[in-house]
Chain A
Amino acid sequence: ETGVTQTPRHLVMGMTNKKSLKCEQHLGHNAMYWYKQSAKKPLELMFVYSLEERVENNSVPSRFSPECPNSSHLFLHLHTLQPEDSALYLCASSQDRGGRYEQYFGPGTRLTVT
């Protein structure tokens, strides 16, 4: 595996389900990110982890819960979602180069909430 991988690629879940999205980076980076991409809207940064500690949380509802067990893996735990949460969820990673970051993205998980 190379780059940033995400599983599953597609997910359909009911509003009462609990599911998790997984991201793995094979680039040796020390920061990881979750983004939401909805139709007709710019990418929205949800969470940032740097050296496995959460450093940004952009007012995301508590029904989204991130987890970063190590620098290579990132999870997004989902529970009691709403239909408006249907979107493409993208994971990215980067290396801290003196406060400068270039993010590399995975292919995304297409989430549909029914």
Chain B
Amino acid sequence: EDQVTQSPEALRLQEGESSSLNCSYTVSGLRGLFWYRQDPGKGPEFLFTLYSAGEEKEKERLKATLTKKESFLHITAPKPEDSATYLCAVQAGGGQNFVFGPGTRLSVLP
């Protein structure tokens, strides 16, 4: 069974304190790994797609990396506006089946 776990469940950082979020997956045939940001009461906002081990993507203070078993979302010098829940999802197999992780709730304090 395809599974996605994320850690930590919640993370509190001081503004400027860099850290990383983890997404571990067990899937049969990874087609893509996705990171989303979700603010309370809103739909997820697409951030990155990673397709193969060793791939990296960057956007402002965020950098996503991928290995054969996990992905990391690195947040450099975060600001309070980076506070949100960060979701990881995988597309497995040959179809359009997407499995989401439970998310990491990030709080950045000023």
Please tell me which one of the listed residues A6, A45, A99, A103 contacts residue B97 in the complex, with CB atoms under 8 A apart: A45
Nearest CB of chain B from residue A76's CB, rounded to whole Å: 15
| Number of A positions contacting B (CB below 8 A) | 27
Nearest CB of chain A from residue B30's CB, rounded to whole Å: 11
Q: Which residues of B contact A100 (CB under 8 A)?
A: 31-32, 49, 51, 91
Interchain Cβ contacts under 8 Å between A and B, 18 examples = A4-B43, A42-B99, A42-B100, A56-B96, A58-B97, A90-B44, A99-B94, A100-B31, A100-B32, A100-B51, A101-B32, A101-B91, A101-B98, A104-B46, A105-B36, A105-B44, A107-B42, A107-B43
Chain A residues at the B interface, C-beta cutoff of 8 Å? 4, 6, 31, 33, 41-45, 48, 50, 55-56, 58, 90, 92, 99-108, 110
Chain B residues at the A interface, C-beta cutoff of 8 Å? 4, 31-32, 34, 36, 41-46, 49, 51, 87, 89, 91, 94-103
